[in-house]
Amino acid sequence: MLVRLLGTAAGGGFPQWNCNCPNCRGLRRGQLKARARTQSCVAVSADGERWFLLNASPDLRMQIAAFPPLWPPASCRRGTPIDGFLLTDADLDHTLGLLLLRERSPLTVYAPMAVQQALRQGLALPQLLARYCPVEWHEPARELAPLPTATGQASGLLYQAIPLTGKPPRYAREIAHPLASPHSRVAYYLVDERTGGRLLFLPGLARREEQLLPYLRASEAVLLDGTFWSENELQEQGLAQETASGMGHLPIGGPEGSLAWLADFPIPYRIYTHINNTNPILAEDSPQHAAVRAAGMTVGWDGLELTL
């Protein structure tokens, strides 16, 4: 399985356009040892020719432009090697990229029903897209199953959606059930049928989830929610009153954080993604960045590639 991290930032990217936090200011001025990042999105493929995207970032156009395997095939006037999208939730930073792909090419989208309902009732996104291009919406499999190409052929990948604790995005919180479902967020577990490579995609994680333990033990790589280092990060920087857990994200640091939780799992690749612009792990010379590396984990960056 080929894995390419197209983007690794949380909503707003890094630096965020309207943010003057120490990280964003430092990066703009060339005073921070860090990399700019686009918003979180991942491409996976079993053969390097047919690709699936995990979420659809608002930065998707530039992410496609930066990765030639996602360019239109030379054999056609218009076309795409992207065979489908697997959405983890209905958050804007994971779905708005679909609107950038409205130029007539058919789209195949896998998303839980609660996510589809949020996009339909809160944004009218499916209705809008349907005016521009054919779109097929699918409920993702809850047991390991073949992930077909857009033409129904074998892709070489198996996939499974794993329900997680979550809540609807802000724009959909006033809409009635089923948008209030605790399973408005999923993780994806993918397996390469030929190599046996196993990937767990977890860009949003509100708490330690017991049902994830078998997948964590089996995975060769996990792409994990790295939004915040601490519970009160936004408050401490004077940017907002929300806490990490209140926004649906398990912090990295602290005795109950994800760094301590995953430190003892024998996973070869443990990579943080969906990193907020305020997170100190972005600074490559920070104590927090060093703590991640000391635990055998990686702060993900745009363009990082794995072969599983």
**What is the percentage of the chain residues whose pLDDT exceeds 90?**
86
Contact 56, 25 (CB under 8 A): no
Is the full-model pTM beyond 0.85?
yes
Nearest-angstrom CA–CA distance, 165 and 300:
24
pLDDT tens across 177-233, in order? 444 455 689 999 999 999 999 999 999 999 999 999 999 999 999 999 999 999 999
**Whole-number Å distance between alpha carbons of 3 and 44:** 5
Residue with tokens 């998707």: 60
The DSSP secondary-structure symbol of 133 reads S
Question: Beta strands 41-45 and 2-7: pairing type?
Answer: antiparallel
- Here the tokens at position 21 are 């936090």
What the block records as the tokens of 161 is 């959606």
Residue position matching structure tokens 């055998």: 296
Q: What is the CATH number of the domain that holds 271?
A: 3.60.15.10
Question: Tokens standing for 89?
Answer: 């939730």
Q: What are the tens digits of pLDDT across the range 69-94?
A: 999 998 888 889 999 999 999 999 99
φ, ψ of residue 3 to 5 degrees: the values are -130, 125
User: Would you call 200 helix, strand, or coil by DSSP?
Assistant: strand
Report the alpha-carbon distance of residue 127 to residue 134 in Å, rounded: 11
Secondary structure class of 84 (helix, strand, coil): strand
- Output the pLDDT for position 155: 98
What pLDDT does 196 receive? 98
Domain that holds residue 7: 2-307
Question: What CA–CA distance (Å, rounded) separates 227 from 247?
Answer: 10
Q: What is the mean pLDDT of the chain?
A: 94
The answer to whether the Cα torsion of 7, 157, 81, 113 is positive or negative is negative
Whether 104 shows a pLDDT value over 90: the answer reads no
Query: How many domains does the structure of the chain reveal?
Result: 1
Residue (of 280, 235, 285) closest to 259 by Cα position: 280
CB atoms within 10 A of CB 68: 7
- Residues 301 and 35 sit within 8 Å (Cβ to Cβ): yes
